[in-house]
Structure 1
Amino acid sequence: MESYDKWLTIEELSSYLKMSRSKLYQMAQKGELPGSKIRTQWRFDRNRIDEWMETYSNAAIIESRKIRYK
């Protein structure tokens, strides 16, 4: 059984999503990415990130279909 941390650091999230840390910081600060800032450090709930990615992916597919079929 593979173990994983429920809470991800920005570095772990960057690796998990294969996105740059700077982009993730920007998104978190704008409220575009679900996360919690504890003093000076961000933490991200893996389950909420997975849900966010699912929603974001589905929204992108729907939007691309709208553009394609106009």
Structure 2
Amino acid sequence: MDERWLTVEDICGYLNVSNETVYKWIEQRNMPAHRVGRRWMFKQGEVDGWVRSGGAADKSASPDAQGTKGE
């Protein structure tokens, strides 16, 4: 059976994040998403793989990202 397409709202609930976060991830972190007309749609397996590979990791949590290295 094929995996069903998920909406932004579905992904927000699945990942427990806001829709603002999802749109930022699409634009800035190459979150796997597909345009269908005016809507963004997702395959859960693609999103799971992206999360596992570190795509959704909080980049500001590392010392390098905070700009404190070398001070």
TM-score (norm 1): 0.67
2:16 alignment partner in structure 1: 18
User: Which of structure 1's runs of 4+ aligned residues deviate more than 4 A?
Assistant: none
How high is the sequence identity, in percent, across the aligned residues? Answer: 27
Give the AA of the match of 1:28. Answer: I
CA deviation map 1:23-68 (0-9, x unaligned):
10122134521100112100011000010111117x77xx95xx5x
**2:7 maps to which residue?**
9
TM-score by structure 2 length?
Answer: 0.66
Distance 1:35 1:11 in 2: 13
Cα distance in structure 2, aligned partners of 1:55 and 1:6: 22
Q: Partners in 2 of 1:24 and 1:37 — Cα distance?
A: 14
| Higher normalized helix content (fraction of residues) | 1
Aligned mates of 1:31, 1:37 — CA distance in 2: 16
Quote the residue 2:33 is aligned against: 35
User: Is the contact made by 1:8 and 1:43 (CA closer than 8 Å) also made in structure 2?
Assistant: yes
What residue ranges of structure 1 are gaps of 5+ in the alignment?
Answer: none
**1:6 touches 1:47 (CA, 8 Å); kept in 2?**
no
